[in-house]
Structure 1
C-alpha cells in the first residue's frame, strides 16, 4: 500500500472496495455498503428503512440546500421516500449568528419542499476550517416490496439519462467562482447558472418517484452521479452491476450554460459533480414508456445506452468511433479548486 498522499475527493474505488469487502453487516442489513450502492437498507421487524450519509464540502453558498437534497436523492434511488434528516453543521471560526442562521434556514426550506422532518444533528464552531461543512444523514421508508439494487439488473438492460449534466457543478461554479467567471461570461448567463440550484434544481426525487410509480418492476435500478460527474457515476453503475457499458456520446444531455462555464474554466462536463441528473436502468421493452412518461411531465431524458455482458467493456460511441469511457481521478471542481483557478 502506497504512502503517497491521496488526491482530493472520493477514495480511489479499489481502496474503497478493499475496505468495504472487510465489513460484515448483520442479517438485518438487506443492502449494505458497496460501490454504486446509493444507500443502505435495514429491516426492523416489518419495517424497512433506508439510510444515507453524505457531506457537502465544495459549496459555501446555500450549503444547507445542497446537503438535504443530495442525501434525499440517494434515498429516493432505492425506491424509498425521504422522511427524516439529521445534520452535523461545522462552522469555521469567525462565523456570525447571521451566517449560521442562513445555513439552518436553507436546511428548513429544503426540508419543507420535500416533506422531510429535520430531527436532530449537531452544530459547532470548529478550529481548522476555512469554510462551513454540513454532513447530513437522511432516513427514508421503503415504498416497494423490493429494493432497487444492482442485483436486479441484467446484461442488455437499457440505460437512461434523466435530466442533463452537470446541474450541481454549474450552480456551484457560478456561485463559488463568481469573480473569475464575471470577467469571462455574460451576466445574464451567470445568473441562470446560479439559479440552476433551484431551476432545474438538484433534486431527482420527483423523477425517481415518477419512474417507480409508472414502470413498477420494469425499473431495475437507479443511481445518481455526484462527485466525479457522469463518467464516474457510469463506472460506479458498471462495478455495482458487474457489467460493461456502451454509451452514446450524442445522448448525453449537457446544458448550454454548463458548456459555457466548463469552456471558460477549462473543465470537462463529464467529470463535473452532477447531482440533479439520474441514471435509470430499465428493461429494454420499457424504454419508450419511460421516456414518454418523463416527457409528459416535462422531464428531459434520453436512452444513453445499454449494459454490456462484458464487464471489461466500458465505452463511449461518438462521431469518431468508439473510445474508452473516461476516468476522472478527482472531480473537476476539486481539480479547479486545488489549482487555485477559482475566486
Structure 2
C-alpha cells in the first residue's frame, strides 16, 4: 500500500467487522467521517479522539496538539487533556525529545490543555519520529455535535483559508525547493500559517451558536471532508469552487506542482453546516474569525460547481501532500 489513509471501502469493512461490543453509554461511536466518540457520564459527556502526525518533519509537535484538539472542538466541546506517544528511530537524541515536548507543552498551554501522560521510546520499528496523541474533552450531556448531523438545506460554512496546514508543511519541509517560485516574504508568510492551525475557538463558538454538523478539514482536503460529512449524514452537497477561500501562495505552489488544493490537508479550517449560515458567519467575524458560506447540503449527489458546470465528487483518495512528497524525493 502507498502512504496515506486507507481506501474508505476497506476501512469501513474493517471497522464494521471488528466493532467488539456496542455499549449503551457510548452516544457517538466509530464510523466513516466521525473523528470523535462521545461517552455518557451522567450529566456530562467525555469526547475522545486520536490522530498521529506522519506527513510533517518540522513543527510535528505543534501540529500533534492542534490536529487532536481540533477534533474535539469539531464537536463544539473544549479539549481538556492530551495523552502523547512518541516513537523515535534509533539514533535519535535527547535534544529531539526535548524539542518535541517543548513544542507540545507550548501549544497545549495556549489552549489550556493538560498533558495527562503518554509513552516515549526509541525503536527500530520506525525510520522517522512518529507522534500520536489522544485528546479528551468534557461537555454537558447531549451538547456534543457530530459529523453525522448535517441536514438538507443547511448552509455550508468554511472558516479561515483552506490548505493552511498543507502549505505550511510544504514550505517548512521543502523550503530549498521553493526558492525561485516564492519570494522570501511569501515563504515567511506561509511558514506562519501554522499559527492559524487551531480551530478550537470557532468550534466552541459554533457549538454554542447551535449548528447541525462540524468537521475539521484534514487529510483529503475540503472535498474529502465534504464527502465524509455527506456519507455520515446520508445527504448530498453542492459547493461552489469560486467561493472557496485559498491564498495566492497556496495557489502558486499547487499550480507549479500540479496538485489539487481542494484535496490538500487543511487543518486550520472548519466545515460547519447550519440553516443560519450568514448569521453564523457574522458571529464568527465579530469574534475575529474569517468565515464564508461556500455551498449547501442537498438531498443527494456530491457536486462541485465550477464555471456553471457540475462535477461529481468521488470518495477521497490519497492526500495531495503525499503525492507532492513523492515528486520532491
TM-score (norm 1): 0.91
1:135-163 C-alpha deviation (Å, 9 max, x unpaired):
00001102463331245332111111111
* 1:13 equivalent in structure 2: 8
1:282 maps to 274
Q: Contact 1:226–1:273 at 8 Å: present in 2 too?
A: yes
Which of 147, 163, 167 aligns to 2:164? It is 167
Instruction: List runs of 5+ in structure 1 lacking aligned partners.
Output: 1-5
Q: Is the 8 A contact 1:79 1:143 kept in 2?
A: no
Q: Distance in 1 between matches of 2:147 and 2:82?
A: 25
| 1:128/1:150 CA distance change after superposition, 3 Å | closer
Q: Does 1:68 align with 2:90?
A: no
Gap regions ≥5 residues in structure 2? none
Matched, 1:232 2:217: no
Deviation per residue, 1:194-232 (Å, 9 max, x gap): 11111xx1100011112222x23xx11110110111111
Note if contact 1:81-1:143 (Cα within 8 Å) is conserved in structure 2: no
Q: How far 1:21 moved relative to its partner?
A: 2.1
1:133 matches 2:130: yes
In structure 1, C-alpha distance between the alignment counterparts of 2:151 and 2:281, rounded to whole Å: 20
Q: Which moved more, 1:297-306 or 1:228-237?
A: 297-306
Deviation at 1:79, TM superposition (A): 1.9
Matched, 1:103 2:93: no
2:198 alignment counterpart: 203
- Following superposition, the deviation at residue 38 of structure 1 comes to 1.9
Cα RMSD, aligned residues only: 1.5
Q: Distance in 2 between matches of 1:180 and 1:297?
A: 37
In the TM superposition, what whole-angstrom CA distance separates every residue of 1:161-195 from its partner, at most 9, and x where no partner exists?
11111000010000111111124321111111111
Q: Which of 319, 323, 334 is the equivalent residue of 2:307?
A: 319
Residue 249 of structure 1: aligned partner: 241
Aligned CA distance change for structure 1 residues 166 and 143 (closer, same or farther; 3 Å): farther
